[in-house]
């Protein structure tokens, strides 16, 4: 079983007297830096001067400086810019300021695990990865709650890297909910696999194929959309709130029987074998190498794939139907 930590487990504040530099002010950077500040941590937000994020962070009371200034002043540097530009930002603006005794942190292990970023000797490397989007991390903190996080230590020169990770997790509110200890390898590989095989890739293809089968069989696209996409939220909410068994308990007996008997005939053991191959590509670094090259070539494949997705008939139908659902726009 995993090691799980809560507020009462952390007696020592490893951030006391230190300056934490948060690089980036996107979804996670904004939430984490504001939570840190409200927890009494001395925070600097490092950004490109003159950008929109600079104005936003300044308007929200953050101490905003350039990335170089933040990296030089920070005892703990949390890099929260997107994965695909982390190496560039690190090499251009952070690396030269990493002296022995400093610590560098991440919320996803990709660039450390696949050696796109190699911190110098004497620098601790840790991870605090909230398992929820930035706005939720902030909202739960403001409500006196927290979003669970993963923590990991990659290098521990000081002997205090884990203390730093736990103190950081406490300051952003995660220890209120619980923090699970992992490794950079485990977090990175499971995260990539989940995105590709299930959460983003797998479910996307399943929805499209279901829609296409119904439409090609002569059913109205609007009805196919409702049955294969729109109602997915109901199912996901039930699973999210109480696990898969909660979903089975929440749907009709007809849906139970049909799902349990037909589902395994659609998602067969052959699919599981293909999932294993996808995991192998993650584990051996093949996907990482492909993604690094994709970014160096201007994301040609990604842009073409997004364009194809935007032009799929399900998007046109969905847009028209969502216009009939004002509660979606209100976030209800």
Q: Which two tokens stand for residue 199?
A: 């959460």
Instruction: Output the pLDDT for position 1.
Output: 81
Q: How many CA atoms lie within 13 A of 92 on its CB side?
A: 10
pLDDT of the residue at 11: 85
Domains, the chain, ranges and CATH? Answer: 4-183 (3.40.50.720), 191-329 (no CATH)
Please tell me the pTM assigned to this model. Answer: 0.92
* Segment 272-276 long-range contacts (CB within 8 Å, at least 24 positions apart): 275/193, 275/197
Give the CB-side neighbour count of residue 216, counting CA atoms within 13 A. 6
Q: To 10 degrees, what angle do helices 27-38 and 134-142 make? A: 20
Q: Contact 86/79 with Cβ under 8 angstroms?
A: yes
Cβ contacts of 207-210, under 8 Å, gap ≥ 24:
207/232, 207/314, 208/312, 208/314
**Block residue for tokens 């190496």:** 87
Q: Quick one: how many helices (H) and strands (E) in the chain?
A: 17, 9
Q: Give dist(CA 210, CA 150) in Å, integer.
A: 35
The length of the chain, given as a count of residues: 332
Strands (E), the chain: 4-5, 19-23, 42-47, 64-66, 76-79, 103-106, 124-130, 149-155, 179-181
Q: What is the pLDDT of residue 177?
A: 97
Relative to beta strand 42-47, strand 19-23 is parallel
Is there a contact between 13 and 175 (Cβ–Cβ < 8 Å)? no
Active site includes 108? Answer: yes
* CA gap 173, 256 in Å, rounded: 39
Phi, psi of 5 (to 5 degrees): -120, 145
Tell me which residues of the chain have a pLDDT lower than 70: 329-332
Given this model, what pLDDT does residue 289 score?
A: 96
- In this structure, what token pair is assigned to residue 279? 């995991």
Residue 330 is predicted with a pLDDT of 54
- The label of the residue with tokens 């003159």 reads 50
pLDDT in tens, 213-264: 999 999 999 999 999 999 999 999 999 999 999 999 999 999 999 999 999 9
């Amino acid at each position: 079983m995993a090691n799980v930590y809560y507020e009462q487990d952390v007696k020592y504040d490893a951030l006391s007297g230190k300056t934490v530099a948060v690089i980036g002010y996107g979804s996670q950077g904004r939430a984490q830096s504001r939570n840190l500040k409200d927890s009494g941590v001395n925070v600097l937000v490092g950004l490109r001067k003159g950008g929109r994020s600079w104005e936003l962070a300044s308007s929200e009371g953050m101490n905003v400086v350039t990335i170089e200034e933040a990296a030089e002043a920070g005892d703990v540097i949390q890099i929260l810019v997107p994965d695909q530009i982390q190496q560039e930002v690190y090499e251009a603006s952070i690396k030269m300021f990493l002296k022995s005794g400093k610590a560098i942190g991440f919320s996803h292990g990709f660039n450390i695990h696949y050696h796109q970023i190699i911190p110098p000797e004497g620098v601790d490397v840790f991870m605090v990865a909230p398992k929820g989007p930035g706005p939720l991390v902030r909202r739960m903190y403001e409500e006196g709650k927290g979003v669970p996080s993963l923590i990991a230590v990659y290098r521990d020169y000081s002997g205090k890297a884990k203390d730093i990770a736990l103190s950081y997790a406490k300051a952003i509110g995660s220890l209120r909910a619980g923090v699970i200890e992992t490794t950079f390898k485990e977090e990175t590989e499971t995260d990539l696999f989940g995105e590709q095989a299930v959460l983003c890739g797998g479910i996307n293809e399943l929805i499209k194929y279901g829609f296409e089968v119904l439409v090609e069989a002569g059913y109205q696209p609007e009805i196919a959309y409702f049955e294969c996409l729109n109602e997915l939220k109901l199912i996901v909410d039930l699973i999210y709130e109480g696990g898969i068994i909660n979903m089975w308990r929440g749907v009709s007996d007809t849906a139970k029987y049909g799902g349990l008997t037909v589902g395994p005939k659609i998602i067969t053991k052959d699919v599981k074998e293909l999932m294993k191959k996808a995991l192998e590509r993650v584990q051996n670094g093949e996907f990482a190498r492909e993604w690094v090259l994709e970014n160096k070539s201007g994301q040609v494949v990604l842009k073409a794939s997004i364009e194809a997705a935007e032009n799929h008939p399900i998007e046109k139908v969905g847009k028209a139907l969502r216009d009939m659902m004002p509660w979606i726009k209100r976030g209800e």
